[in-house]
Structure 1
Amino acid sequence: MTSTDTLGGTREAAGPARPGDLAAALLTPEARRDPYPFYARMRREDPVHRSPQGIWYLTRYADVEAALGDLRLSNDRDRMTRAYSARGGDLKALSRFTERLGRVMTNTDPPAHARLRKLANKAFTARRVEALRAGVQRSVDRLIDEAVAAGPAMDLLEDFASRLPMSVVCELFGIPDADRPQVKSWFRRFGRLSEDIAKSEAAIDQYEEYLSGLIRQRRHTPGDDLISALVATQSQDGRLTDSELLATCFILITAGDETTTHLIGNGVLALLRHPDQLARLRADPGLIRGAVDELARYDTVTQAVVRVVAEDLRIGGQTLREGELAYLFLGATNRDPERFDHPDRLDLTRTGNRHLSFGHGPHFCLGGPLAKLQAEVAVGTLVRRLPGLRLCDEAALEWRPNPLQRRLTALPLAYRV
């Protein structure tokens, strides 16, 4: 779930794995640094693994691809909350945030999901995303200019990658320049939900109030922005309630922030660790679109998504029972040798790259094309403008503890212009 920070919904310390307990192995410091050898072991030994807590772990591409499109595996947050609660999960940190997310398309099942997704698709079009390219380029150039002016080193995440999606989202939604520092402050607070629930809930309330004001304003004075497009869709269709409209704006603005940040961060790190591929991209900048797909496959930001079994089903010779939780490991599928040749090799010219980094099926990530656009412009421009880009201290890199997400705490880089 969105704010669960360990596998299985319980807060156990990461220590030595018990013999044969493949799930516990994913909580170790070694797996935090590099989970991919652990995934390989799971695929070999028990690709549809049931943990001692009764939670399923799926790691093969074929199984996960099928599971993502199977409606018997539910994404409904009410059902998921009950499943976590039945297993002793700590639900305090979910409270207000889960209540908000429970009314959006990403956390509903058909037919509600299909209705909400169709309406969002009408507003969030490929044409609207592509129209942002020039603005994304301006934002990227400005951020690099500021970094260069500040000195010969920067934290790529803090000084660049985290600032870009905020700028792009604010432009997409028509958020006034004067309001952007406050919006950024709310976003930071959402990311610390488990640290201070009361402050995070207060920030969510303030953010919702702000969004409600923007929606009312766009009803009277529409503009060329996504909120205006959603309002117009609501008026035309009549089936999107006010609360659903608010929730849709909420999730569209919030969802892509961290994913985009760490797609850029993980991608740049992968290139720096593979100087031959970095040199290839520098020699042929036209590779960038395929390169971003390969970077997304190679070190996936969203390592796993969670589903609840709504109806008994068979996967990989195992029976998953109604009410059980299933973790679908996208990071493992993207290194499955049954689907990818030499899966542990970074290859920017890889063809047929049908990775699952942005999901598959009904819940394929709506913001995936926007995240990829930003990564294309960001990574391509960094490679072109900062030829001396290098890691400051490889040994000092730390990964955040949530094994469902692959996110660095910082990425200190040095460079020359």
Structure 2
Amino acid sequence: MDDTHAPSLLRLFDPEWDDPYEFYRELRESSSVQWDEWMRCWLVLGYEEIVLLSRDERLSGARIDSFYEQLPSATRAGLAPLKKALSDMMLFNEPPRHTRLRRLIRPGLTPRFVRDIRPLIEGVANDLLDRALPSGLLDVIGDFSEPLTREVIARLAGVGGGHIHLLENWQGLLHEFFTQSQEVIPRINDLRGAFDHGARARRDGTEDDLFSRMIAGQLDRADYTEDEIFANFLLLIDAGQATTTHLVGNAVLALCRHPEQMAMLRDDPDLAAGAAHEFMRFDSSVQFTSRVALDDIEIGGQLIERGESVALVLGAGNRDPRRYPDPDRLDIRRNAQDHLSFGHGIHYCLGAALAVAEIEIAITTLLRRTVDLRLAEAGQSWLESVNFRFLQRLPVVVTPVF
């Protein structure tokens, strides 16, 4: 049987599919739930189906161990520190452990905390643009969004000046794990050393960094190991830096390709908070999340059998015309707060409000500080991944406000 054109997310590596959303549309027209023979998993492409499965206790996000155990022994040995960190993150666990780990950080990421941190985000954004705009050429990723999110997360996680270089060019730990890359291991080990240095002060309440203050009320319960605390410290860095960096980059790209929307946002900056959600719906930096079936599940006219893998394709659900009229049109006035880019159900991103604030502030500051903003190159260079929509760079020509 010729399966050259069989439906598979791996076809996104083909040159003909420069835009994944066109590919999702073609797949979804066939079925909202279908089998991917090459990836050996079910693709769930419809908004409603993704929401239903995100709430279904018969699907589990605890998928790190199963992938790791299939690797050759030499690869497992090299990846062991990364596997350990991922396995201890709340994101890759289910209740009751997930509930306990989520409780560690949840009290810190409150609306009040996000309001209090806004001046920091605004200050960093302006400092970066002070340095970059006078040249008339700005790499949105390298000059702006990556150092912005790095500085914010360094302050939040308590990564001091002597260690902030460890956060540079952070690509995402899950990407490193599933591509079996060991390049990040020395960085994790160095971050663990910096983290362990403050362990006693964190436990006795004398450490003053924001992460320690966020979790202070939980540590007196003595039911968290240092490995668990470190893993979710890494999760804070991972989710708070790489994904937000590229949410900002993808938003700027979308505005450059839709100048009428950029003009609308320049004229009415109050639209920015809602626009941040539309940017995430339109082009999320994370395209799918994986699960494993704990039992048989019938959905979308298909039977997912126990033990089979499932990819909830968030990027496809965000463009489902059954949920969003004219879904391939960027509309910053659209009510898109129910988008799937932060996940759904018990795994909904704890840092969602912080990410929205960073996107809102980054975009409004950039537009306020410029009178013109346009792409410097016709094509874009993306990370080679079917899951992560990460721009390698985004050079734009700018005319700054003086």
Instruction: Give the distance between the partners of 1:294 and 1:125, measured in 2 at CA.
Output: 22
1:266-345 aligned within 5 A: 266-345=250-329
1:95-244 to 2 correspondences below 5 Å: 95-149=80-134, 151-181=135-165, 183-185=166-168, 187=170, 193=176, 197-220=181-204, 221-223=206-208, 225-235=210-220, 237-244=221-228
Equivalent-residue separation in structure 2 for 1:271 and 1:343 (angstroms): 16
Alignment correspondent of 1:43 = 28
CA distance in 2, matches of 1:25, 1:352: 28
* 293-302 or 219-228, which deviates more: 219-228
Q: Secondary structure at the match of 1:323?
A: coil
Look up the match of 1:18.
4
User: Cα distance, 1:172 vs. partner?
Assistant: 1.6
Distance 2:174 2:51 in 1: 29
1:399 Cα offset (Å): 1.6
Secondary structure of the residue aligned to 1:127 is: helix
Cα deviation for residue 374 of structure 1 reads 0.6
Identity of aligned residues (%): 34
CA distance in 1 between partners of 2:78 and 2:330 (Å): 37
Contact 1:189–1:200 (Cα < 8 Å) also in 2: no
Which one of the candidate residues 372, 391, 398 is aligned to 1:408? 391
Picking from 32, 45, 56, the partner of 1:70 is 56
- Contact conserved, 2:163 with 2:191, CA < 8 A, in 1? no
User: 1:93-116 deviations in whole A, cap 9, x for unaligned?
Assistant: 754312211011111011110111
Q: Is the 8 Å Cα contact of residues 215 and 227 (structure 1) preserved in structure 2?
A: no
Aligned-partner Cα distance in 2 for 1:403–1:190: 15
**Letter matched to residue 218 of structure 2:** T
Given that residues 17 and 24 in structure 1 are in contact (C-alpha distance below 8 angstroms), is that contact kept between their aligned partners in structure 2?
no
* Structure 2 CA distance for partners of 1:185 and 1:262, relative to 1, 3 Å: closer
> Aligned partners of 1:203 and 1:86: how far apart in 2?
22
Give the whole-Å Cα distance in 2 for the aligned partners of 1:270 and 1:399. Answer: 14
Residues 288 and 312, structure 2, Cα contact 8 Å, conserved in 1: yes
TM-score normalized by the length of structure 2: 0.91
**What is the SS of the residue equivalent to 1:172?**
helix
Mapped partners of 1:51, 1:378: distance in 2: 38
Q: 1:113 to 1:264 in 2, by over 3 A?
A: same
Aligned counterparts of 2:174 and 2:67: Cα–Cα separation in 1: 20
Instruction: Note the C-alpha offset of 1:166.
Output: 1.0
Could you tell me how far 1:177 is from its partner in structure 2? 3.2
Structure 2: runs of 5+ lacking an equivalent: none
Relative to the length of structure 1, the TM-score reads 0.88
Q: Deviations over 1:2-46 (max 9, x none)?
A: xxxxxxxxxxxxxx9823434443332232x20111111111102
SS of residue in 1 equivalent to 2:207: coil
SS in 2 for 1:26: helix
Report Cα offsets for 1:282-316 as digits up to 9, x if no partner. 11010000011001101111111111111111111
Report the RMSD for the aligned CA atoms in angstroms: 2.5
Give the secondary-structure state (helix, strand or coil) at the position aligned to 1:394.
Answer: coil
Q: Which residue of 2 aligns with 1:13?
A: none
In the superposition, relative to structure 1, how do residues 342 and 353 fare at CA in structure 2: closer, same or farther (>3 Å)? farther
Matched letter for residue 280 of structure 1: M
TM-superposition CA deviations, 1:302-359 (whole Å, max 9, x none): 1111111111111111111122111110000011010001111111101254110110
- Aligned to 1:319, the other structure's residue is in SS state strand
For residues 65 and 86 of structure 1, what CA distance do their matches in structure 2 show?
31
Count residues in correspondence: 394
1:300 is paired with a residue of what secondary structure? coil
Q: 1:178: Cα distance to partner?
A: 4.0
Deviation at 1:167, TM superposition (A): 0.6
Contact kept in structure 1, 2:297 and 2:305, CA below 8 Å: yes
Kindly indicate whether the alpha-carbon contact (under 8 Å) linking 1:157 and 1:411 is maintained by their aligned counterparts in 2.
yes
Provide the C-alpha distance between the structure 2 equivalents of 1:275 and 1:17, rounded to a whole number of angstroms. Answer: 41
Structure 1 residue runs without a partner (length 5+): 1-15
The superposition leaves residues 168-193 of structure 1 with CA deviations (integer Å, 9 ceiling, x where unpaired) of 11222333334323x33584796994
Q: 1:281·1:288 contact (CA, 8 Å) conserved in 2?
A: yes
Distance 1:209 1:77, change over 3 A: farther
Aligned residue identity for 2:359: A
Counterpart of 2:318, as a letter, is N
Q: Distance in 2 between matches of 1:58 and 1:189?
A: 23
Compared CA separation, residues 147 and 341, structure 1 to 2 (3 A): same
Q: Deviations over 1:236-277 (max 9, x none)?
A: x33222221222212112222111111000000000100110
Is the 8 Å Cα contact of residues 192 and 200 (structure 1) preserved in structure 2?
no
**1:178-217 deviations in Å (ceiling 9; x for gaps):** 4323x33584796994789454222211211211113333
Is residue 105–residue 214 contact of structure 2 (8 Å, CA) maintained in 1? no
Contact 2:281–2:315, Cα closer than 8 Å, also in 1: yes
Q: Could you tell me how far 1:233 is from its partner in structure 2?
A: 1.3
| Separation (CA, whole Å) in 1 of partners of 2:79 and 2:57 | 24
Correspondent of 1:56 among 42, 53, 56 = 42
Distance 1:17 1:166, change over 3 A: farther
CA 1:334–1:199 in 2, change beyond 3 Å: closer, same or farther?
closer
